[in-house]
A and B are shown apart, each in its own frame.
Chain A
Amino acid sequence: MNVIEASGLGRRYGSTWALRDCTVAIPAGHVAALVGPNGAGKTTLLNLAAGLAAPSAGDVTVLGGRPAGSPMALDGIAFVAQDTPMYKNLSARDMLHLTRNLNRRFDQQYAESRLGELGIPLKRKAGKLSGGQQAQLALTLALARRPRLLVLDEPMAMLDPVARHDFMASVMMAMAADGVSVVLSSHVLAELERVADYLILMSRGRVQLAGEVDDLLASHHLLTGPAAEADRYAERLSVVHARRGEAQAHLLVRTTAADPVPPGWEAHPVGLEELALAYLREPAAAALAGSRPDRARRRALASETGRQTEVSK
């Protein structure tokens, strides 16, 4: 089952397309990370999946074909928006009561014990809680609904490192205990590396890269070799990003297992952050199954050979 399936999805505000030509299929049972700079369209995509916005083009279904925003979809998805909106005047207990009344399933016991463990007093008004506590309260409300899919929009933007760790630990525990799938967005990749096993890279309203992290890392390598030969190999290989010094060059290439390493060159595996940065630096590069890789490759190469060289330290 795909928890989120989008086909040609687009959303326009006025004359600006916040999201365009988005075709992804996020499988269940994963933690999918939506990564990209501000304005890349992450929040737009999540809003569309949660049913808060309607598409301007294409369509999006969730939880195995349910239309986004339909009652069946709303039932199975728990959405925590950016800045974790909360009714400031209501106490934590009131928020629990509220969420219980607005949903079919609600595990009151789980919610209360979780808040107790986190040290969030039930009587205190939500507006008086710290940023981290509010985020944890929002997460508690979401998890107590026993959703199939948890959607988090930059949930940790306001949190300090300890709170971030606790937040992520809670999410991962819910995944381990209940099999909840998670889709979360962030523009900080470093903290997603140990959490994400599905990656969607977005830039300027388009999806650049989407796939299981293991597959992506296995299909990309960093080739290090003489700068003089770099151009020759760049034509034959699918180069995503190149860095050149005077004598030495690094090429981040997309390869299959069968591609041989050119003689005199070294191949190193790539980390997630390095991979993401390389793609984000090359807006023309895209690597989607079912997209037009050759065209993207040619575009990427054209920008490569015409580029100024970067001096590596």
Chain B
Amino acid sequence: MDIDKGISEEPRRAAGVSPIDFRLDPASGVPTYLQLVHQVEHALRLGYLKPGDQLPKVRDVVAALAINPNTVLKAYKDLEGKGLAAGRPGQGTFIQATLSQVALPELSGLRRSLFGWLVDADTAGLDEDGVVALFTSVLRDFYKRRGGQADRGVASGETEGVA
């Protein structure tokens, strides 16, 4: 995945205040730290977070969600490992880069080929749940072969579909 460096930095909000706030879905089956990571990535994609913005302080996250501070640290370390965030000693953790934006023409091309595939799957007799199961399984295999981060983000799909 390509990572673009942010070019311009918007005027910062008041020091110590983060643009985003975390929420927790305790029943989703997704590990807590992963939920935090996903929320940061999602906020980046939607534009709520820009490079230079500060992620919520560990203390504030803990106070709001009543979770283990080690979990927050783990999530922030994960983001650091991906190059999305960087910690500044004594100040907090700040966004360093954005997720890659896939160019618009490429995006519509992907949509079209996916739609075509779905038509084939439907013709073959696969219903919606079957499509999801198949897709999830192939997705997992793809990233496994690609190496690293094998179960990233797929955990939620794996607990479904168990009869």
Contacts and interface: CB of A to CB of B under 8 A. Distances in A.
Direct A–B contact in complex, judged by CB atoms less than 8 Å apart:
yes
B68 A269 contact: no
A271 B162 contact: no
A271 B29 contact: yes
B69 A172 contact: yes
A166 B65 CA distance: 9
A168 B62 CA distance: 9
A196 B151 CA distance: 22
Contact of A173 (B24, B26, B29, B63): B63
Interface in B59-111: 59, 62-71
- The SS class assigned to the A binding surface is mixed
Contacts of B54: none
B1 interface: no
A172 B66 contact: yes
Contact of B68 (A190, A195, A222): A195
Nearest to B151: A269
Given A169-B66, A173-B63, A197 B159 contact: no
A135 to B, nearest CB: 14
Q: Report the contact-size class of chain B (Cβ under 8 Å from the partner).
A: 20 to 34
8 contacts: A165-B66, A176-B59, A194-B24, A194-B67, A194-B68, A197-B68, A224-B162, A269-B158
Number of chain A interface residues as a range:
20 to 34
B69 A176 contact: yes
A177 B151 CA distance: 32
Interface in A281-313: 312
B124 interface: no
Interface string A163-185: 00110110011011100000000
B68 A268 contact: no
A196 B69 CA distance: 10
Contacts of B59: 173, 176-177
A269 B158 CA distance: 8
Given A176-B59, A193-B26, A269-B155, A168 B66 contact: yes
Contacts of B158: 268-269
Contacts of B58: 176
B14 interface: no
A196 B29 contact: no
Contacts of B63: 169, 172-173
B163 interface: yes
Contacts of A177: 59
A197 B71 contact: yes
A196 B64 CA distance: 17
Contacts of B68: 31, 172, 175, 194-197
Interface of A: 29-31, 165-166, 168-169, 172-173, 175-177, 190, 193-197, 222, 224, 248, 250, 268-269, 271, 312
Interface in B94-134: none
Contacts of A165: 66
Given A176-B58, A193-B26, A194-B26, A248 B67 contact: no
Nearest to A165: B66
Contacts of A175: 62, 68-69
Nearest to B64: A169
A168 B71 CA distance: 14
Contacts of A222: 162
A30 B24 CA distance: 21
B72 to A, nearest CB: 8
Contacts of A194: 24, 26, 32, 65-68, 71
Contacts of A195: 66-68
A30 B69 CA distance: 9
A168 B24 CA distance: 15
Nearest to B35: A194
B37 to A, nearest CB: 15
Contacts of A248: 163
